[in-house]
Chain A
Amino acid sequence: MSDDILLKMRGVKIDGKTGDDWLPIIKGIDLDLRRGEVLGLIGESGAGKSTMGLAAMGYVRGGCRISGGSIEFDDLDLAKASESKRRSLRGKRIAYVAQSAAASFNPAHRLIDQYSEAPVQHSVMKKDEAETDATDLYRRLQLPNPDEIGFRYPHQVSGGQLQRAMTAMAMSCRPDLIIFDEPTTALDVTTQIEVLAAIRSAVEQFGTAAIYITHDLAVVAQMADRIMVLKHGVLVEEADTRTMLSAPTQDYTKSLWAVRSFKASAKPAPAADAVPVVSLRNVDASYGPVPVLHGVSFDIHKGRTVAVVGESGSGKSTAARVITGLLPPTAGDVLFNGEALPPSFKRRSKDQLRQAQMIYQMADTALNPKQRISEIIGRPVEFYLGLKGRARDERVRELLNLIEMEPDVFGHRFPGELSGGQKQRIGIARALAADPEFIICDEVTSALDQLVAEGILRLLDRLQTELGLAYMFITHDLATVRAIADEVVVMQHGKVVEQGPKTEMFRPPHHPYTDLLLSSVPEMDPDWLTNLLEERERSGIKVESADA
């Protein structure tokens, strides 16, 4: 077995610099990887997965250092090797596939030039050989127009295709090991399938060993032979994929497995004559000359959650912008409690503005980093409700209590001093500060870890029951839909393709697109991807997505 081992990490310790102190990120982890084996690394954000993956290349990010242990790659200790020695391995024998292909491809160069850079610079191939090879790999990874796509710039290629092109780039020198760092996290479910299939076939064809980093258990179940669970820089559990899925031994692993169990309480259907809080009537909208929405209609009733699902570019967020008045529709109406709202937010009264609030995907960027929490929440309280001085402070305290955050502890902090989940709670409190009837939640949980996301969903559900709020829940994650929605609206290419109560939506027969969406959600079964691909091939379903 010892000959077989490609990568042997022993007692690896990595520190990160915070101010003047070095704090441990990885606290002594052992890792073995055989040739041709795929190892899954899972854990929440901050668990040290990416740091561990990069350490396998002998690389640490700025402000970090390897403070102990050994990283033996093919009998060379990368922790002690010279920088030039490590550099000669990177790209050539160990390659990396990053989370966001759109950000990790250099915008200034064509794809094929970036493909051939590593082979040419490492003197593996000449430029023209590398280009022929690139076309060949693009074809194997089933990229459209393989002869031509390499000559495009990254911005001219869609996200799913870029991710496959990046996998091809990692393969360019036929490395022994590839680190996949959350390669499908930023993609839609339908696109994710294509990328997963491409990665798996590439790894199998060349017998490449891989470390697959993700926080999505269902995804790692499809890809990995063996799984390691990390938490706060410590190894929690390690086992074969099937053993790990069927019989996790540690409590933490079990809790990760159980996350998807949350379900919001069922609510009675609205009375037939009830006036919906928000109602879209045949709304068309466009960005400049580009039409985005075509005749979109749906209703949202008091105390109920409508989930709007679809891939990126399907018009979900545009519909939200129309409701808030940020993008006046070119045709159709937005009704609020039966009354038409002025198309643009500029012409709406303060009370109309107050009624509809938003919670954003990235709480990081949606909160002013220079304002204290009490100011962030106090500002809408003062603006919409006209409360000042002590009354305002009282209201801020109430709101903080409502989102289960201690006012005395958090009121005077800055957003930078909070965790991701806490920031999102502040985002919720800020929306509640206006005392609205209706809240748009735009992908509010997609940037969060599953345990944290579940907490946010529970909070939203409790607030809905207590305050009778109506939610429009924009998401591409069908597990979230299952958890919280009462009704579902499925959108594709700016049109509503199907809508109805959740219970009906998850029961066949479906619209073909809904079917595609539902069947593309990875399941915990390790054979799921194989079976799905076989089934799709048999029935001849072409994967139709934004990529096509």
Chain B
Amino acid sequence: MTAPTGVVDQALVWLNDPLTWTEPGGVLDLTAEHLLMTAAAVAAAAAVAIPVGAWLGHSGQGAGLVVWLTNASRAMPTLGIILLLAAGGLFGNTATVIAAAFFAVPVLLVNTYEGVRGADPDARDAARGMGMSGGRILLQVELPLATTLVAAGLRTTIVQVVATIPLAALAGGGGLGQIIAFGMGTQRYGEVLAGGVLVAALCLAIDAVLAVGQRLATPAPLRASAG
């Protein structure tokens, strides 16, 4: 038997074993852990990025900062940052959540900024003419108009966080990436393959669910322009 088919067979056998899924620390547990970590990281990132992005967009300041953030975040090697955190003594799931949130902030901040910034100037003008204060303009005019972009940003962010968490498994973090890291460490390549398939499936499933969510979150009049 050639090696590749052997690996595929191993992966199928492993995936077909009910115990793989239901044992403590099995696939179901790891998936739940993965999703909990995702929720925590996205919530932390959103708590920082949405208010800051909204305020920068409203006041029109910080365009340079936003551009710099987008570019810098692309050049950052995620793995290096996670390993540096580990070397600094930050381990396990908390460290993973912090690292994932750190990488989630730029996308969400830029989308919120662009959304608020790009609100129709006429609408903003009309709101000011009606005597709305700056805060009310932001909350009742600009942010609703920015919903499309914020929702798109949230979707990208969530998928990105789900994809980042497995990397942290290389540094001892939890979640589905553990299957890949463990398989690599013990040279059970069937499990590596199975872990890869599970992580990929989780990402695609979440992206599909969020695509529907994004459409629901977009106010009907804005849907056509969102394409």
- Chains A and B bind each other: no
Query: Which residues of B come within 8 Å of A, CB atoms?
Result: none
Query: Which residues of A come within 8 Å of B, CB atoms?
Result: none
